[in-house]
Structure 1
Amino acid sequence: MIRAGRVELLSPPRIRLVETVLPELSPAHRAAVDRRWEEAVRANPALFDGPVAALTGLERDGRDALVLSWARATYRHRALRELPDAPVCSSLFVSVAQPSEDGRLLVGRMAASTAAPGRWQLPGGSVEPPDEGVELDVDGLRRHAARELAEETGSATPAGALRLWLTTRGAGGGVGVVFLAPPSSGRELRERYARLVSTETGEGREPEFDQIELVRPQAGAAGLEGPCVDHLEPVLGRYANASA
């Protein structure tokens, strides 16, 4: 385990996911969750209370594996992270470190219609639960990561080409599973994104990323204007060290 400020970077060779039940909410907590969700929707009517896999626990299984416990929830349950004495319910998400052939990494800025407008991050998103009775495993996370990469950047990288790289745990308890994609030319990455933007806007939709950049990991996120997810700087640093 490596600590980077308030963010932990973990590099387990194995991850096991265990489905649990969302903790029972008190009437006060349920009312507070609903009230905060209504306030969020008034501020951003594009928000959708869709299904999400909420992290309910993280522990070690020996020295070479992590056990991630998760439960079926919806986006409104994210408010539990801000409520005192609320049950543990953190975010579980996937990200993709997409390098260019010259060693830069692709990052994107979230559009105004998203839940985190203006925030820079790696391509990725919250994990959605599988159908009832279907097990969530690393292959499922890998497929979800490939889909997020395609939807946000226009990439055609197949899920099988993504390699499990590391896991992050942020100050708020949210856990991200990061996959590493094969290098691609910077020109091709920009052209694919431009085609995606053209298609999305032509069909009346706003792309999830309103801008992408290829950043040099050695420089960190210093050149990006605006807020970044808390794990971006440590992940860039890890990639820079691995490439040195």
Structure 2
Amino acid sequence: MTAHGPATVELLPAVRLRLVETALPALSGPHRSAMDEVWEESVRANPALFDGPAAALVGVERDGADGLVLTWARATYRYRALRHVPGSPTLSSLFVAVVQPADDGRLTVGRMSPSTAVPGRWQLPGGTVEPPAGPHGLDLAALRDHAARELAEETGSDTQPEALTWWLTTRGERGGVGVLFLAPPRPAPELYDRYAELVAAETARGDDPEFDRIELVGSPADLSTLPGPHVDYLHPVLRHYADN
């Protein structure tokens, strides 16, 4: 596993990706009570939080020299509260993100709106992976489909899943793993126009957009121009994109 950029973020090079489902680690009574208490406090602070289904990352392993295995379990968003419970089983987030370039090489980033779990944070379009319904497991195709939905829901760019290419896998400071897909370039004015159309449609329905602003950035130095914090993987991903 190779560090790239900030020491707390790794880029995980691989050409094969396998996802293996497992059971959630058992929780003791005190750990479950503490998790529920932390989650309820979070909901009181932000009533928009929703305890929906989520895929929790249980482990990351190498599969030979060029493969990667992600072990995951079916959970809900409240299990994220375990990171604040000392001595509890370690569960991290599993998410997808889309590297959406403009035709001038800059990348699309969005700022999370006040109603989200991380208001004001800049990140790539994407989100936490949701487990499939029924007995079906996760694979790269399912992650690609999810990434395409997130891109459309957050930016208005309706790129088809088959046009997305698995590009990079990252591991962040809290152990969360992101599977990043590269989208075909679009003209910069088109990216802004599609986002504006999305915001207008959601506002007309009385909904809050997940991003309250998007920008195009071309290098890690551009992050200093964004008002507010950014997700930990953004700096190394921008540098990796610029280097390749």
The within-5 A match list for 1:20-35 is 20-35=22-37
Match of 1:93 among 92, 95, 109: 95
In structure 1, the residue matched to 2:127 is 125
Q: Which residue of the other structure, out of 51, 54, 63, is the alignment partner of 2:53?
A: 51
1:64 Cα deviation after fit: 0.8
CA contact (8 A) 2:220 2:235 kept: no
1:218 Cα deviation (Å)?
5.3
Alignment match, 1:192: 194
How far apart are the structure 2 equivalents of 1:196 and 1:90? 31
1:196 is paired with a residue whose SS is: helix
Deviation at 1:220, TM superposition (A): 4.4
In the alignment, the residues of structure 2 paired with residue 202 and residue 218 of structure 1 have an alpha-carbon distance, to the nearest angstrom, of: 35
Contact 1:167-1:178 at 8 Å conserved across structures? yes
Equivalents in 1 of 2:75, 2:118: separation in Å? 19
Is the 1:55–1:71 contact (alpha carbons within 8 Å) kept by the matching residues of 2?
A: yes
Separation (CA, whole Å) in 2 of partners of 1:199 and 1:146 = 19
Moved more, 210-219 or 109-118: 210-219
Q: Secondary structure at the match of 1:84?
A: coil
The equivalent of 1:11 in structure 2 is 13
Structure-to-structure mapping, 1:209-220, within 5 angstroms:
209-217=211-219, 219-220=221-222
> Equivalents in 2 of 1:108, 1:218: separation in Å?
15
What TM-score do the two structures reach when normalised by structure 2?
Answer: 0.97
Equivalent residues in 2 for 1:1-244 (5 A)? Answer: 1-4=1-4, 5-217=7-219, 219-242=221-244
Please report the RMSD computed on the Cα atoms of aligned residues, expressed in angstroms. Answer: 0.8
1:135 alignment partner AA: G
Alpha-carbon distance between aligned partners in 1 of 2:162 and 2:231, rounded to the nearest angstrom = 26
Q: CA deviation at 1:135?
A: 1.8
- In structure 1, give the amino acid aligned to 2:228: G
The runs of at least 4 consecutive aligned structure 1 residues that moved more than 3 Å come to: none
Q: Percent identity?
A: 64
Q: Which runs of 5+ in 2 are unaligned?
A: none
- In 2, distance between residues paired with 1:241 and 1:222? 19
Structure 1 residue ranges without an equivalent (≥5):
none
TM-score (norm. length: structure 1):
0.97
- Match of 1:36, SS state, is helix
Distance 1:84 1:148 in 2: 33
